[in-house]
Homo-oligomer: A and B are copies of this chain.
Amino acid sequence: MNDFDDWMQACLADVEAELGRHVIATAPAGLGEAMRYGVLDGGKRLRPLLVLAAARSVGGNPVAAMRAACSVELIHAYSLIHDDMPCMDNDVLRRGKPTVHVQFGEAQAMLAGDAMQALAFEVLTPAEGSDGDGDIAPPLQARLCGLLARASGVFGMAGGQAIDLAHVGKPMGETDLQDMHARKTGALLQASVLMGAACGETTPTQWQALSDYGAAIGLAFQVVDDILDVTQASETLGKTAGKDADRNKPTYVSLLGLDGARARARHLHGQAHEALQRAGLVDPTRLRCLADRLVERES
């Protein structure tokens, strides 16, 4: 596992440096400052790690993969900024810091999120003659943009958010709960794996297996989140604990009980391992370790 930790630490440092380069401080009228506050120096960077691990597992282009990793994290970070706003979850604490709208005001928070979504696609499509020109071949740029856009929109994250909003305080069956999470958090986690895979060569079988791996860990992530929301204190999580239960939001724990939710997480963990085996990758170690960490995490 030491090799994995070394790899992970190196990735985290690289991602941080790259994000710092893309999210420029000189963006006008404080916008850059709000964006940097929202995305730098915080978060587990699970999505970038998935992109980079998947790219490594298929011998993908590491420069393209790093751009893909940053683009996914920008989408994730923008979604957190918007979700925290008063008209959505009205959260004041995120990653142990005041949320972006608390720090910079609502208008700037909304704009910072909007600009970060655009930036995700800018990062994937370096301008001709720019520094990054040549980092990603144009057909790969197009493929990455398509995967990211579909994971972010009505079929993905935004659609899942809308379902979530519509169900606060209302009962929700397991099928609906799963559909909501598959879109809300699952789609972007799965896209992270597939964007990494797109940076290299895969057979259709490998692509499908990696897609299944992504779906399994995407759902496992949410089940573990729901478990941690009731078992951990706010200090450990870096955000307000127990908030979903307080708001009477449907969760895996409310639906299956704590033991049932834990069993579900183990089951999905097994599915992820099975899919990886089926993919027959040259080097699946990092993806396997990430699945393990994701299920065993305590925050």
Contacts and interface: CB of A to CB of B under 8 A. Distances in A.
Interface of A: 24, 27-32, 35, 78-79, 82, 85, 87-88, 105-108, 110-111, 113-115, 117-122, 124-127, 138-139, 141-143, 145-146, 148-150, 152-154, 156-163, 165-167, 183
* Copies of this chain, whole number: 2
A114 B145 contact: no
A35 B159 CA distance: 11
A162 B35 CA distance: 12
Say whether chain A's binding surface is mostly helix, strand, loop, or mixed. helix
Nearest to A148: B121
A114 B122 CA distance: 16
Contacts of A148: 121
A107 B127 contact: no
| From A35, A117, A127, A167, residue with most partner B Cβ within 10 Å | A117
Contacts of A28: 154, 159-160, 162-163, 166, 183
A142 B146 CA distance: 10
B117 A88 contact: no
Contacts of A142: 125, 138-139, 141-142, 145
A165 B111 contact: yes
Contact of A24 (B82, B118, B138, B154): B154
A159 B27 contact: yes
A28 B160 CA distance: 8
B162 A111 contact: yes
A153 B87 contact: no
B87 A154 contact: no
Contacts of A35: 154
Contact of A162 (B29, B79, B113, B166): B29
Query: Top 7 nearest A-B pairs by Cβ distance?
Result: A125-B146, A118-B153, A87-B106, A115-B158, A141-B142, A121-B149, A29-B166
A166 B114 CA distance: 17
A85 B121 CA distance: 25
A149 B138 CA distance: 15
B152 A145 contact: no
Contacts of A110: 82, 85, 87-88, 110
Given A31-B162, A152-B118, A159-B31, A138 B127 contact: no
B27 A154 contact: yes
A211 to B, nearest CB: 13
